Amino acid sequence: MNPIERIQADRQDARNHDDPNADLCFLALSESGRPSVRTLVLRDVTADGFTLFVNKTSPKWSTIQENKQAEMLLWYTNSQTQYRINGLIEELDPSVIEQNWHRRPAGSKYMDYTYQTLGPQSSEIDSRDDLVNHIQGLKTEHPEDEIATPESAAGILLRPEVIEMLDLNMPNRIHDRRRYTLIDDEWRTTQLIP
């Protein structure tokens, strides 16, 4: 089983066990040597990589433009397995977000609009009330079924180069740690001391 298939299987197992991490990941970026990490919804896992939705108004977008190298961490409790996925981030074709954006919860859609109408994601505002009132105004002026996908909504793919797996679910606490490296479209495996 290659590491992507293993992650897909562990993720499905996590879903079957209602693991709240099943559809999440933790994405680390680095800008000028300053690390930053955040929780994101992991939208899809395919042979190509790991799909995420972000907003281009966020500071992480310019961080990604400067340095596409990223590490994603996955932790599945039931299978007791951690994955550290290293690779390069690329923007997906806008049609991907276009197809998916309308299925997002209303609150997420209005938040995406707020980044364009009130201020960029992660920027400062005077109070939470300002935000709540702004979104209420958007809802009144623009019914949910009339709003289009904002240009700042983006789909990104983390295309993996190296995946490190740590499986704690082994006898005598002798964990199984492997590094998978993608070389010429084939995953090569090396065993590591955990």
Ligand X SMILES: Cc1cc2nc3c(=O)[nH]c(=O)nc-3n(C[C@H](O)[C@H](O)[C@H](O)COP(=O)(O)O)c2cc1C
Binder to ligand X among 9, 24, 28, 131 (CB under 6 A)?
24
Opening angle at CA 40, ends 119 and 102, nearest 5: 70
Binder to ligand X among 21, 51, 58, 81 (CB under 6 A)?
58
Please choose, from the candidates 191, 168, 194, the residue with its C-alpha nearest in 3D space to the C-alpha of residue 180. 191
Q: How far apart are CA 63 and CA 54, in angstroms?
A: 12
From 38-46, 71-79, 137-145, 165-173, span contacting ligand X (CB under 6 A): 38-46
Binder to ligand X among 7, 54, 70, 154 (CB under 6 A)?
54
Q: How far from 67 is each of 8, 30, 52, 73, CA to CA, in Å?
A: 27, 7, 17, 18
Smallest separation (angstroms) from ligand X to the CB of 59: 5
- Residue 41 makes contact with ligand X by CB under 6 A: yes
Q: Which residues contact 140 (CB under 8 A, 6 or more apart)?
A: none
- Residue 94 makes contact with ligand X by CB under 6 A: no
Positions touching ligand X (CB under 6 A) are 24, 38-41, 53-55, 58-60, 121-122
